[in-house]
Chains A and B, each alone.
Chain A
Amino acid sequence: MTTRRLLTATLTLLLLQNYLIGQDKLNIKFGKIAPEDFDLSKYKYDTGASAVIIADIGNTSFIGNTKGDFSLVFKRHKRIKIINKNGYDIAKETIFVYQRNSDEEKLKDLKAATFNLENGKVVETDLDQKSIFTDKVDKYRSKKKFTFPAVKEGSIIDISYTIESDFYVDLRSWTFQGEYPCLWSEYQVTIPQFFHYVAVNQGDQNFAIHTSKEVNVNYSIRQPNGTERSEFLSIMGTATENRWVMKNVPPLKEESFTTTIRNHVSKITFQLHYVQFGEANERHDYMGNWFIASEKLLKHENFGQALDEDNHWMKEDLKAITTGCKNNEEKIRKIYAFVRSNFTCTDHDRLYTDNSLKTVFKKRNGNVAEINLLLVAMLRHEDIPSDPAVLSTRDNGYCSETYPMIDGFNYVICVARDNDKTFYLDASEPLMGFDHLPIDCYNGQARIINKEKPYAIYFDSDSLHERTVTGVVIIMDEKGKPSGSFQSTLGYYQSYNLREKAKKKSEKDVFKDIQTAYGSDVEISNTGIDSLDQLEYPVKIHYDFDLKNMTDDIIYFNPMMSEAYKENPFKSADRKYPVEMPYTMDELYSFSMEIPEGYVVDELPKSARVMLNDKEGMFEYLIQKNDIGIQMQMRIKLNKALFLPEDYSTLRDFFASIVKKQSEQIVLKKKK
C-alpha cells in the first residue's frame, strides 16, 4: 500500500449506530444576547483571528410533504463576533437555493441582526428584509445575498434560517472548519428508519461530542390524487438522531505543495444508500456499494445510457477515421487522436453529461464526461473493449475508497484494452499524449465503471517519475573564444508545459525568454525543440551559445549555468500538512568545459553527496579537472512524492544544501 492510499484511508467511516460519549448542550437562542456575551476572553482561540464563530448549529430532519413524499428540513443558527475590520467580510452572507423541475429548496424564516455594545447596553439592529437580494446564478441555482447592518469592530452578528428541500438524496453535509476559528460547531441529523445513509468524516479534528439515539417520530404525507381528493398518510415509527459537536476548531491554514486544502477540512458528508419502507417492501438501492453504484451510473441518463445505444450515426465518420488501420491498437490511437484534436473541452470538472453524444459529436465540444464517454462509445462501436472510469482530481480532493461517495468524483477518463494491454486515455486535453493522463488525475483511486467488475485503479504521484537529462559542453574555438552547446530532455509533464507555452506563444518566444534570462553575457543560436509535436514523447530543447566577457584576470563561473535552483522551494520554516508533490523526480546534469588558453583552475567546488532519510532521496555533485578541462556531474533524485510534516525540515534542509552547492563557482586565473 502506498503512502497516498494510507492517507486516503484516514477518511474514516462513521457507523450510524448507538454509542454515547457525553452530553453537553449549548444554550443559545436567536437574538438573546447579554453584555457579557461580548467578552470572549475565557475562550481559547487563535488571537490573530479577525472574527470568531461563537456557535454554528445545524439540524437536518425529515417531514412529510404535499407531493406524496418526504422533504428535508435544514435549520441553522450561526453567531459570530467580529473582532476587527478584517473580519467584515464574514458579515456578507450568501445562501444558495436550488431548483429542478417541480422540486425545489425553499428559504424560510430568515432572521438576521447585529448587536453592538454601546455604553454597557446591547443595541440591536435588525436586517431590513428589503436588503435581501436574489441573484440568479443559472437555470437551477439562485443566491440569496445580504450584509448585516451596523457592523463595527466588536459587533456580534446572529443569523438563523430554515431551508426546506425536496432533494432527500442530497442530505446536507456539514463543515466544522473554515477560515475563522469556531468555538462550537454542531450538526444534528435525524433520519427515519426507512432511510439509510452512509456518512463519511474527514479532517484532523476530533469530536467533543457524538451521540446517537433512537427517537419516536410521526410524519404526515399528503398524496395529491389528480382531480380526486388528496390522500393523507400518517406514518409513525422511529428515527435515529445523531449529533456531532466540535469545540475550539482552529482555522484552516493554506500551504504550498498540498494538493488541495479541501483534504484537510473537518467535515461530514452523506450519501443515500437505500430506502426501504418496512421489511416486506421493496428495497430501493442508491449507491450502497460499487456494484450498485456502477450499475446506477451505467443506467444514468447523464452517464452510461448513451453507451448502451448502438450509435449508428457515428459509423461513417469512424470508417473514415480508421481506414487503413491494421490492428486494434492502431484503431485506438487513431480514434483517440481524432477526439483529442477535434473536440474542445468546455468544463474539466464534470461527472455527468448535459447533451447527447450525438449532439456533442456534432458540436465538436463538450465537458470532460461527454468527451471521454464519446471516446468510449466510439471505441465500443469498433468492438474495442473499453470502459469509462471515474475519479476525483487533485483539486477536488481525496475520495473514499470503500464507499462510492459519488458526489466526491468529478472527472471521467476512458480505459481501453487490446488483448493484455490497457490504455488510460483522456481526450479532453489537446496536448496530452496517448496513454498519458493530466497530472491532476494522479490523486489515488479511480474506479472503472462496468457491470462485471467495477474495480479500482490507482494513479499515485509516487508512480510518476519526472526525469530530466541535461548536458552542457563548452569548448574553445580556434581563436580561443569559448562557445558551447546545451541540450536538455525534459520530463513528461515539463514537456507538456513547454508544449503549452510554445503553442500559446511560439517556439521563437521560448528561446527569446531563455536569451533574456541569460542577458548579454551569453548569446544563444541554432535553437531547436525536438519532439514538440510527438505528444507521447518528452521534448528535447537544444541550442548553441557563445560566452562573452570571459577575459578578466580572474573568472568566476558557475558550472550549473542557468539550471541551478536559486531558491529553496520550501520557503516556510514549519509545516502543518504533508508535502504532496505531483511526482517523484530525477534530474541529471552533466557539464564539461575546456580551460581557456592562458588560464589555470584556481579553485573548484568540492564534490559532495547528500542523502535524504537514507534512501528517499539523493543529491550528488561530482566535479574534477584534468589537463584539458573540467567535468562535472550533478544528480537530484527524490524517490517519493509525499512527505509527512515530521519529515518537512529534513526535506527543506536537503533542498537548502542543493541550493547552496549549486551556487558554487569555478575560479579561473590568468597565468602570470
Chain B
Amino acid sequence: MKGLAIIIFIFFQLWSVAYGADGEFAVSNIPADILEHANVIKRMEEIRFDLDNVSKPKMYKKYVLTILNDNGDNDAVFSESYSKFREIASIDGVLYDDKGKKIRSLKKDEIKDLSGVGQEDLIDDHRVKQHSFYCKTYPYTVEYEFEIKYNTSAFFPYWIPQEGYYFGVQQSSISIIFPKSYTIRYKALNYSGEPEKSESHGNNVYSWRVKNLKPIEKEYAAPSWYNLTTFVLFGPSDFQMDNYQGSMSTWKAWGNFIIALTQNRDVLPDNIKKDVHQLTDGLKDTRQKIKVLYEYLQKNTRYISVQIGIGGWQPFDANYVASKKYGDCKALSNYMRALLKEAGIPSYYALIEAGEGEDDIIIDFPSPQFNHATLCVPVGKDSIWLECTSQTKAPGYIGAFTGNRHALLICENDSKIVSTTKYGMNENLMVRKIDGAVDSAGKLNFYCSTKMKGMQQDDIHERINYYSKEKMMEYLKQTIDLPTYDVVKFDYKEDKEIVPTLSETLEITATDYAQVSGKRLFIIPNIVNRIGTKLKMDDTRKYPIEFSAGYRDIDSIEIKIPAGYEPESIPEDLKLESKFGKYVRTTKVLPDKIVYYRLHERDASRFPATDYADLVKFYEQMYKADRSKVVLVKK
C-alpha cells in the first residue's frame, strides 16, 4: 500500500508541473470563513523595520492582496509618499490570476510620480509614487514589495493588518530589529499576548503576527477602527530630525523637542508690539485682552499652508507672519502666542488631531499622532482654546473641529495631555419657534426663528461667513426639505460668545405644503425638523454603539388653520425616555390653530451591541412621529 501511495504522489507532482496546478496565491486556498463579506483578502504581509543603524532606519514591506470585486480596486493600487525624510528605494509588483498564476510584473515606467500637494496647501514637499495593474477580471491578486529608507529616526511605522471594512487577513506580521542598547516602545490594541522575541546579528528582533482575521462589516455609529481590530503602534525613544535631537519616551520629552523647534521664534517686530500695547494696555480684564488680540489676529492674517522639510514640524517665526500676514496652523498659533506674551498673558502651543469626527489620539502612547497645532490660554481655573487658523470663529470657541478631545499641551518640562473644551447637550442647543398659517388650498406661510448654539451652529456659521448673500439665498432655496417652496426673507445674527449663538430668521412660503383631498386637509405640524435616520433592521450587531457629541432640539410650532375645518385625526402625544435619549412630542388642535411641541435630546454615550434592536425601534418611533399628520375635515 505504501508503494502505491508514493506512486500516486509522484504522478500528481508530474501532472501539476505539466498542467500548471494552482499557485500559492490561488483563490481556492482562502479559508471560506474569511471570504464571507470580503472585498479584499490580505494573503500575506511581511514588514521589517530595521533600526540596525538607528539614525537611518529602513523598512522592508511585502504584501499580497486578493481583490474579490470592484469595491476592492482601491486597495489594489500601490501608493506610498516620499519626502526628504523618507525615500522609496525600490518597488516591485506582480499580478496573478485567480489560479495564482503570474500574469505579469510591474514595469518601472508604469510607476506614476505624483505631487503630494493637497487642495488646501500652497506647497508641500511630499510626493507620491503610485502604481496600478488596472485589472478587472475578478478575483485577481497583486503582490508588492518595496523598501523605504528614512533620513530621520522620528517616524516609526504602525501596524493595522486589517486595513478597513470588508477586509479579511490570512496572515500578516511585523518585526522590529533594533540594537540591544536601544529602547523600543510599542503599544498593542486588540492583540493577545506578547511579541515573539529573538536575536539576529547581535540585534533584538520583536515580532507580532496575526492569522485568519475575518472581515468586519460596517455598522451604524460604530466605535473607532482601532477599537475593532488589531493595532500596534511603535515609537522611538531618542530620535533625530534634521539638526534637532529629541526623545519620545514621554509626552514631556516629546514636548521639549517641540519647544526646541519653536524656541526664539516668537520675537515680534516693533510695529506689531506697538499695536498690541495700543489694543490692550487700556484693558483690565484678561479675557477681554485675549478677545481683542484674537480679533486682531483674525483681521490681519490668513491661513496658508507651506510644508517643506522640517517646516512640516517647525513653525515659521513671528516675524514671517508679521510681514507676510499669513501662516499655517503652527505659524499662526506661534504668532498668537507671541501677541499674548507681549500683552503679558502666558499661553501654550498645543498639538492635536483636528477635524470633525476624527478619532481621538491614544493618550498613553507618546508618538506623533497629530495633524494640527492650536493654542491654549489658561485664565484662572479655565482654559481658553484659540483656533488661530479661523477667520470667523468666536474668540475661545473651537467647536467640532478640535473640541471634545485630547491635545498635547507644550510647556517647558511639563508637556502633558489635556482635554479641550467639552460641548455637550447643554451647549449644543437648538431652540426653534415657528409661526405659520395654512390655507384651504394647502399653502403654508411661516416665520421660523431658530437659535443655534455651540456645535449646532458650526455649519451655518461657515456658510453665512463664506457665502455671499445671493449664494446663501440660493442655498436656502435648495436645501430645505419641503415639496415646493420659496424663501421670502432671511436674516442671521451672530452672538460671538465663548459658546456662540447664531440666530436665524426665515420667512417661507410653501405652496402645497398641506395635502388636500376633497374635503380633507393633511398637515404635518413638524415642518422643518424631521429625523432623517432610518436604521436597517435585520442587522446582527457586533460592536458597541457610540454617539459622539450630545445635543438638544426644542421646537415650538403654531399653525393657523382655515375656518370651517374640524380635526378628524390628531397624532397621540408621545413621550419616549430611554438611555438613547429623550423624545417628547405633543400636538393640540384648537379651533383656529395647531399647537405643536417637540423635544429631542441625546448625550454622548456608548451602548453594548445588544441594545441595537431597541435603538432601531427608538429611531423608527421618532421617524414616524416626526412625520405624523393632523387630518382636518370640512365641517
Residue ranges of A at the interface with B (Cβ–Cβ < 8 Å): 46, 48-50, 85-86, 88, 92, 125, 128, 131, 133, 135-138, 143, 145-147, 149-153, 256, 342-344, 346, 362-365, 430, 503-504, 512, 515-517, 519-520, 554, 556, 566-568, 571-573, 603-606, 652, 655-656, 659-660, 663-665, 667
Picked from B69, B302, B474, B518, the residue with its CB within 8 Å of the CB of A606 is: B518
> Is B134 a contact of A660 with CB atoms below 8 Å?
no
> Is B474 a contact of A135 with CB atoms below 8 Å?
no
- Supposing A50-B468, A86-B466 touch, asked if A151 and B537 sit within 8 A by C-beta, the answer is no
Picked from B469, B471, B512, the residue with its CB within 8 Å of the CB of A660 is: B512
CB neighbours (8 Å) of A573 from chain B are: 477, 486
- Supposing A85-B391, A519-B623 touch, asked if A48 and B470 sit within 8 A by C-beta, the answer is yes
Q: Look across to chain B and name the residue whose beta carbon is closest to the beta carbon of A553.
A: B569
CB neighbours (8 Å) of A656 from chain B are: 483-484, 511-512
Q: Look across to chain A and name the residue whose beta carbon is closest to the beta carbon of B480.
A: A571
Determine whether B325 belongs to the interface, using a CB cutoff of 8 Å to chain A.
yes
Q: How many angstroms between the C-alpha atoms of A343 and B135 in the bound complex?
A: 7
- Residue among B133, B302, B392, B538 facing the most chain A CB atoms (10 A cut-off): B302
Binds A, one of B113-121, B151-159, B576-584: B113-121
> Is B134 a contact of A88 with CB atoms below 8 Å?
no
- Supposing A364-B137, A503-B70 touch, asked if A147 and B471 sit within 8 A by C-beta, the answer is no
Q: Look across to chain A and name the residue whose beta carbon is closest to the beta carbon of B518.
A: A603
CB neighbours (8 Å) of A667 from chain B are: 517, 520
CB neighbours (8 Å) of A556 from chain B are: 522, 569, 629, 631
> Is B484 a contact of A137 with CB atoms below 8 Å?
no
Against A, the Cβ 8 Å flags (1 = close, 0 = not) of B277-305 are 00000000000000000000001101010
Q: How far is the CB of B390 from chain A (nearest CB, A)?
A: 10
> Is A516 a contact of B536 with CB atoms below 8 Å?
yes
> Is B325 a contact of A151 with CB atoms below 8 Å?
yes
Excluding A147-B326, A343-B136, A660-B516, 5 further A-B contacts by CB distance (< 8 Å) are A571-B478, A572-B477, A606-B518, A656-B483, A663-B522
CB neighbours (8 Å) of A512 from chain B are: 536, 538
Q: How far is the CB of B165 from chain A (nearest CB, A)?
A: 12
Interface residues of B in 510-536 (CB under 8 A from A): 511-512, 515-520, 522, 534-536
CB neighbours (8 Å) of A50 from chain B are: 468
Q: How far is the CB of A568 from chain B (nearest CB, A)?
A: 4
Interface residues of B in 198-212 (CB under 8 A from A): none
7 residue pairs, one from A and one from B, having the closest CB atoms: A48-B468, A365-B134, A133-B123, A660-B512, A344-B134, A568-B484, A656-B484
CB neighbours (8 Å) of A665 from chain B are: 515, 517, 520, 522
> Is A149 a contact of B323 with CB atoms below 8 Å?
yes
CB neighbours (8 Å) of A48 from chain B are: 468-471
Q: How many angstroms between the C-alpha atoms of A504 and B326 in the bound complex?
A: 44
Picked from A133, A364, A572, A660, the residue with its CB within 8 Å of the CB of B442 is: A660
> Is B517 a contact of A515 with CB atoms below 8 Å?
no
> Is B324 a contact of A149 with CB atoms below 8 Å?
yes
CB neighbours (8 Å) of B574 from chain A are: none
- Supposing A504-B71, A573-B486 touch, asked if A138 and B471 sit within 8 A by C-beta, the answer is no
Determine whether B94 belongs to the interface, using a CB cutoff of 8 Å to chain A.
no
Q: How many angstroms between the C-alpha atoms of A50 and B483 in the bound complex?
A: 32
CB neighbours (8 Å) of A128 from chain B are: 324
Q: How many angstroms between the C-alpha atoms of A664 and B522 in the bound complex?
A: 9
Q: How many angstroms between the C-alpha atoms of A133 and B305 in the bound complex?
A: 12
> Is B70 a contact of A135 with CB atoms below 8 Å?
no
> Is A135 a contact of B115 with CB atoms below 8 Å?
yes
- Residue among B306, B323, B483, B624 facing the most chain A CB atoms (10 A cut-off): B483
> Is B515 a contact of A344 with CB atoms below 8 Å?
no
CB neighbours (8 Å) of A346 from chain B are: 132, 134
> Is B474 a contact of A572 with CB atoms below 8 Å?
yes
Q: How many angstroms between the C-alpha atoms of A566 and B512 in the bound complex?
A: 11
Interface residues on B, range: 35 or more
- Residue among A49, A135, A138, A603 facing the most chain B CB atoms (10 A cut-off): A135
> Is A342 a contact of B518 with CB atoms below 8 Å?
no
CB neighbours (8 Å) of B624 from chain A are: 519
CB neighbours (8 Å) of A652 from chain B are: 484
Determine whether B482 belongs to the interface, using a CB cutoff of 8 Å to chain A.
yes
Q: Look across to chain A and name the residue whose beta carbon is closest to the beta carbon of B117.
A: A135
CB neighbours (8 Å) of B468 from chain A are: 46, 48-50, 86
CB neighbours (8 Å) of B302 from chain A are: 85, 88, 151
Q: Look across to chain A and name the residue whose beta carbon is closest to the beta carbon of B515.
A: A663
CB neighbours (8 Å) of A150 from chain B are: 323-325
Q: How far is the CB of B215 from chain A (nearest CB, A)?
A: 14
Q: How far is the CB of A63 from chain B (nearest CB, A)?
A: 32
CB neighbours (8 Å) of B568 from chain A are: 554
- List 15 contacting pairs A-B, 8 Å CB cutoff, sorted by A: A85-B391, A135-B117, A136-B113, A147-B304, A151-B325, A342-B137, A364-B136, A515-B538, A516-B537, A572-B474, A572-B477, A656-B483, A660-B511, A660-B515, A663-B512
> Is A605 a contact of B517 with CB atoms below 8 Å?
yes
Determine whether B122 belongs to the interface, using a CB cutoff of 8 Å to chain A.
yes
- Supposing A48-B470, A568-B483 touch, asked if A430 and B326 sit within 8 A by C-beta, the answer is no
Q: How far is the CB of A361 from chain B (nearest CB, A)?
A: 12
Against A, the Cβ 8 Å flags (1 = close, 0 = not) of B122-149 are 1100010000111111000000000000
Q: How many angstroms between the C-alpha atoms of A647 and B617 in the bound complex?
A: 46
CB neighbours (8 Å) of B275 from chain A are: none
Determine whether B104 belongs to the interface, using a CB cutoff of 8 Å to chain A.
yes
- Supposing A133-B122, A133-B123, A363-B104 touch, asked if A504 and B115 sit within 8 A by C-beta, the answer is no
Q: How many angstroms between the C-alpha atoms of A663 and B469 in the bound complex?
A: 33
- Residue among B481, B515, B535, B624 facing the most chain A CB atoms (10 A cut-off): B515
Q: How far is the CB of B538 from chain A (nearest CB, A)?
A: 7
CB neighbours (8 Å) of A131 from chain B are: 324
Determine whether B620 belongs to the interface, using a CB cutoff of 8 Å to chain A.
yes
Q: How many angstroms between the C-alpha atoms of A572 and B477 in the bound complex?
A: 6
CB neighbours (8 Å) of B104 from chain A are: 362-363
CB neighbours (8 Å) of B299 from chain A are: 152-153
CB neighbours (8 Å) of A151 from chain B are: 302, 325-326
- Supposing A88-B302, A363-B104 touch, asked if A519 and B122 sit within 8 A by C-beta, the answer is no
Q: Look across to chain A and name the residue whose beta carbon is closest to the beta carbon of B478.
A: A571
Picked from A138, A149, A517, A566, the residue with its CB within 8 Å of the CB of B534 is: A517
Q: Look across to chain A and name the residue whose beta carbon is closest to the beta carbon of B123.
A: A133
Q: How many angstroms between the C-alpha atoms of A74 and B134 in the bound complex?
A: 40
- Supposing A49-B468, A152-B300, A363-B104 touch, asked if A519 and B538 sit within 8 A by C-beta, the answer is no
Q: How far is the CB of A66 from chain B (nearest CB, A)?
A: 31
Q: Look across to chain A and name the residue whose beta carbon is closest to the beta carbon of B300.
A: A152
> Is B538 a contact of A365 with CB atoms below 8 Å?
no
Q: How far is the CB of B182 from chain A (nearest CB, A)?
A: 37
Interface residues of B in 466-495 (CB under 8 A from A): 466-471, 474, 477-478, 481-484, 486
Q: How many angstroms between the C-alpha atoms of A520 and B104 in the bound complex?
A: 52
CB neighbours (8 Å) of B392 from chain A are: 85
CB neighbours (8 Å) of A342 from chain B are: 136-137
Picked from A135, A362, A659, the residue with its CB within 8 Å of the CB of B123 is: A135
> Is A344 a contact of B536 with CB atoms below 8 Å?
no
Q: How many angstroms between the C-alpha atoms of A44 and B95 in the bound complex?
A: 62
CB neighbours (8 Å) of A568 from chain B are: 483-484
